Amino acid sequence: MQKTTTPDQHLDNLLKAYESRVTFNFPESLKNKFASSASFQATVAEATKLVLEAIVFQSTPHSEEEREKFQRDMKTKTEKFTERVAQEDPLAVEVILKAIENESQAIGR
């Protein structure tokens, strides 16, 4: 019998899988910035919302036309998201760059 997961559980599972592969060694000062930065918290909430939207969409069958429309809409949303993050949330940019650095180093291992 296959266990059904909610979109939130699916997202949690994705995050746990990623965290098991990647170790971030952020100093406490940076962790404190994460906790106190309203713009960073907004970025995390917005990113979570986008991922959950994709998970929910993928959990049900759709026509080719619906999938194409969803992809166009999601592309527009993610472009707006990345523009906002780049302009308004330097802390998130720092975290993203650290993730890219970690992933790049993992390739060489």
Which pLDDT tens digits describe the chain residue by residue (109 residues)?
456 778 888 878 877 776 666 666 778 888 888 889 999 999 999 998 998 999 889 889 999 999 999 999 999 999 999 999 999 999 999 888 887 787 777 666 5
State the Cα angle at 98 between 96 and 101, rounded to 5°.
Answer: 110
Q: How far is residue 101 from each of residues 24, 44, 85, measured CA to CA in Å?
A: 10, 19, 18
Among residues 83, 41, 77, the alpha carbon closest in space to that of 57 is found at 77
Query: Could you state, in order of their start, the residue ranges of all structural domains in the chain?
Result: 36-109
- Which pLDDT does position 108 carry in this prediction? 62
Could you please report the per-residue DSSP string of 32-47? HHHHH-HHHHHHHHHH
What pLDDT is stored for residue 34 in this prediction? 86
The CA-based diameter of the chain, rounded to the nearest angstrom, is 48
Structure confidence at residue 70 (pLDDT): 96
Cα 4 to chain centroid, rounded: 22
Q: What is the pTM of this model?
A: 0.73
Per-residue pLDDT at 1: 45
